[in-house]
Structure 1
Amino acid sequence: MEPSETLDTLQARHRKEQRDLVARITQKKKAATKKTRKGVNEECERLEQEMKERQAEELAALDSTNSEEEEQEEEEAESDAEAQTNTLQNGVASLAISPSPTNEDTVPAPDSQAAAKKKPNRAKARLARRAAEQEALVEQARLEAASLPNLREQEREQMQTQFQMYKLHEKEIRADGHCLYAAVADQMENSGLGLKPRIPVTVVEEGLPVYKKVRYAAAEWIEKNPEDFAPFIDKPLPEYLQKIRETGEWGGHVELLALAKIYGVDIHVLHGDGRVDKIESEGEGSGIEEKKVIWLGYYRHGFGLGEHYNSLRKSP
């Protein structure tokens, strides 16, 4: 909680955070597949719980500060009232004629503390009221998010239209971080080109998965031509190459460019809106009689892990 926040600004910020989170969760759930649904649901529950706990702590902290100020004001007001009452009683006593006391007239003074009404716990009441307000806001945000378009379904429909236009059909690739490399491997093998690169790859062990061979090929070309890729790499070259060869890190445009060069093929990447990114090999002595084109389908919303590539084969 920011030090200068008032109750109104804090509640406004909480409402915005709730709307943003609900919209984010809704899109995650809509994009989830059967395989990823359990993990996505667990992640969404964790995000909701973390936000609820943090916002409750912020409200409690603000209520604590406000309660201390209010209690101090109430104590000062009660002290002033008590002083005024004592002054008034003293003034009346000095004017009154005191009769001789008798047993009948002697009445014990009531215990002021026992007679006083128990003060309601205002801090708890405020917290309960605000908790109810928060629940109402979350429900409202859920309803608003439910009315948002299903981006996954829209993208799927758009891609189907593009497949018909370009006479392609889709070979779905597992969404595991290796999808770009696995899609390129499927395209190369399905086109009869094989996975032998234009230059020898330093380390290619027997029995490696095909996506791994493609990872090594991409890393090899970048390592041999660092000046072509330096402007697009945000970390030291050895670290970047290790990421390509040995991890499940996603690939992108840089890796596609390296693969187009080392395999001597043009790579066309089809998007749902009809855009085609054309990555050319420039035909630098590829050793292939006729330059080939391989096709990938790019998804931004269709898969639970995020951006994804599928292999696109020519329809018969």
Structure 2
Amino acid sequence: MEMETVETPEDLLAKQHRKEKKDLQAKIQSMKNAVPKNDKKRRKQMTEEIAKLEADLNQKHEEELKHLKSANDTKEKEVVNGVETLKIEDGEQDESKQPKVTKAQKRRDKKAAQEKEREDRIAEAEVQNLQGVRHQEGLKLAQKLAQQQLQIKEVSSDGHCMYRAIEDQLAQQSQIGSNMSVIELRSRTAEYMRSHVDDFLPFLTNPNTGDIYTTDEFEKYCSEVENTAAWGGQLELRALTQILHKPIEVIQADSPTIKIGEEYESKPITLVYMHHAYGLGEHYNSVERLKDPANVEDS
């Protein structure tokens, strides 16, 4: 009869570490498969995320090994009168002799643990996003844009994204007005809305009462358009078509393209509207001519 092999704590920990490394490699391979090779920016982000995941796992394994070694070093078994007892090192006999952890140190340790947990959640969320709705939305948009030989050109997600995207489009077209800044675009939009109240006021309602904005509420709305990072929408786009004398088209992943200002025949300003971009949710981006994937890989 064969004797049953008893696994030591070291064996069990080594087995656990091998499994965790194997699971991480599978996750990394899934991440690589989810990002197109010609998307340099996202592949760079992915590489950074992978490096962080690997570093975190290595640090976790090192800490677990140190903890196990420490436990083995400080506790030894001995037999007294035929009875197996636990021998405790002198350092453990009197806890009162151990240096006390200050409240400030406890707060720092707690804060560090919370920050580590937050970073882990962000990293995990990013992995999920690569396979989730954000990634799927990006693929659909890329396919739609490719039909027009276009691709997304990202702008900052700081509340000014719609105006930044329009600023970029005007600069690309290099026509009159192409030097208009975000500040000027916001100012001109608020000015136009104030001077055409009847075209905009009926579409603005108080979210609490459902009533159409009062004159004061409308002025506050226009002031926020002009002076804050308030997000822009279709009302502001309607004003901008009149200001720029250009049509504006907004491409979405799962909805038909929105076209505003079709009465103008000049080259349209093209924006991309994303429902699941970044942690903020909705976001506008600009577009640019589609680059040759071979050139992107070589650059």
Normalising by structure 2, report the TM-score. Answer: 0.48
Does 1 or 2 have the higher relative contact order (CA < 8 Å, sep 6+)? 1
Between structure 1 and structure 2, the one with the greater Rg is: 1
Normalising by structure 1, report the TM-score. Answer: 0.46
